[in-house]
Every structure is written in structure tokens, then in C-alpha cells.
Amino acid sequence: GENVEQHPSTLSVQEGDSAVIKCTYSDSASNYFPWYKQELGKGPQLIIDIRSNVGEKKDQRIAVTLNKTAKHFSLHITETQPEDSAVYFCAASKGGTYKYIFGTGTRLKVLA
């Protein structure tokens, strides 16, 4: 079945450094790729998304890139801050539908 692999599972960076999280997907019909940030005890918060007709999208310190041929997409956070510490999930739409397939998450720790 369709799946989304996410790496690394944990990531520690020094404050001010960049962080990169990578995901690969298997469903070639996937056309929407959101990224969520989940803090302890809270629900996932949508932070950025990208559609399959776009290769890159940026929002302040956050950017996402998509390589449809290779079926992978990445989240880039620059100038990391302690408040960026959380679990980040990538997801891919199943086919062209509303169903998301989530990755297993990356726990990001930003060290002050």
C-alpha cells in the first residue's frame, strides 16, 4: 500500500543553525504535501504545504521543496529558534483525495 517514509526520526541542532527533514512517498498520484508541527499535548498545526505543480515554496524561515520524479519532499527551517522544538510530520495526499498518509515524525530539538 501507499506509505510515506520520514527521516531522521530525531534531529538536534544548535540555535541559529538550519534543520532539514526529508520524506519520500510511494503513491505517484499524490498531489498535495502538507507539513505539520506538533507540540506536546497539542494537535498538529499546519505550517506549510506544497502542491505537485510547484517545486518550492517559502514562508519566512520555512521552505519546502518537492521532487516529483524522485517522489521526495523536504522541509527546511533556517535560523532555528528554541520554540521550533517540536515533532514535525510530513504527509502526502492519497491519490488526489483528502486522505493524508502521514510520516512517522521527526523530533526536532533546538539547543540554546
Three-class SS state of 96 = coil
**Residues 20/69, Cβ–Cβ less than 8 Å:** no
Residues 6+ apart with CB under 8 A from 11: 19, 21, 106, 107, 108, 109
Least separation in angstroms between CB 16 and other proteins: 28
**Residues 9/107, Cβ–Cβ less than 8 Å:** yes
Give the residue ranges of DSSP H helices in the chain: none
Least separation in angstroms between CB 5 and other proteins: 11
Q: Closer CB to other proteins, residue 83 or residue 98?
A: 98
Site string for other proteins, 22-61 (x = CB under 8 A): ----------x-x-x----xxxxxx--x------------
Site string for other proteins, 79-98 (x = CB under 8 A): ----------x-x-x----x
Binding site for other proteins (CB under 8 A): 4, 6, 32, 34, 36, 41-46, 49, 89, 91, 93, 98-100, 102-105
